[in-house]
Chains A and B, each alone.
Chain A
């Protein structure tokens, strides 16, 4: 699971041109619209993922 997560993070960072630090810290403070969209997207998707693994499919993945 950790390896899958790593693959997704690596691939997604390349495809979306940035990560938490890049879009989140550098992009937001530059008032970049692209970064705002990216940050909202990955925050939302990550929160949904955590919701699914912790509250819906409990025990299946952890």
Chain B
């Protein structure tokens, strides 16, 4: 099947799922995060369902892909913490924010523009990481084999 077609269909499904489950409603998201108040844990089922289904797909339905790094560093934790503050302030995270653009809600538009600005600020201020110091991504098996082949032929 055409990869672009699959991407378009799964993107549309993702958006419908986010909207139906309430992930595009900042009030509901904040209710999920508000453990001390009127806590609404229902969104945990959204994530649980997505994780469970994806886990089964990876396990039984797809080809093994890239191995992931197990290296936990300050960058990862710091980024996640900054993300958490923004998420807690607004109730928006990137996927639902983009989806909410379709509602033409002013808050969603302001948030998304600011989010893109944040991404841009990061891109402009951080040095591009060299392949050799990139800790988060390891070469895929196919690439690794190519590297080994190249090394052997030298």
Contacts and interface: CB of A to CB of B under 8 A. Distances in A.
Interface string A29-53: 1111111011101111111111101
Interface stretch (B2-10, B72-80, B143-151): B72-80
B86 A9 contact: yes
Q: How large is the interface on A (under 10, 10 to 19, 20 to 34, 35 or more residues)?
A: 35 or more
A3 interface: yes
Interface string B49-61: 0111111001000
B69 A11 contact: no
Contacts of B50: 24-25, 29
B128 interface: no
A49 B75 contact: no
Contacts of B13: none
Nearest to A39: B80
Main secondary structure, interface of B, reads helix
B123 to A, nearest CB: 7
Q: Is the interface of A mostly helix, strand, loop or mixed?
A: helix
Given A29-B51, A55-B36, A16 B79 contact: yes
A50 B34 contact: yes
B34 A54 contact: yes
A10 B119 CA distance: 5
A35 B58 CA distance: 16
A2 B110 contact: yes
B101 interface: no
Interface of A: 1-17, 19-21, 23-35, 37-39, 41-51, 53-55, 61
Given A7-B115, A17-B75, 14 more contacts: A5-B111, A6-B110, A6-B115, A8-B82, A8-B89, A10-B117, A11-B118, A11-B119, A16-B75, A16-B76, A21-B95, A27-B68, A34-B69, A34-B71
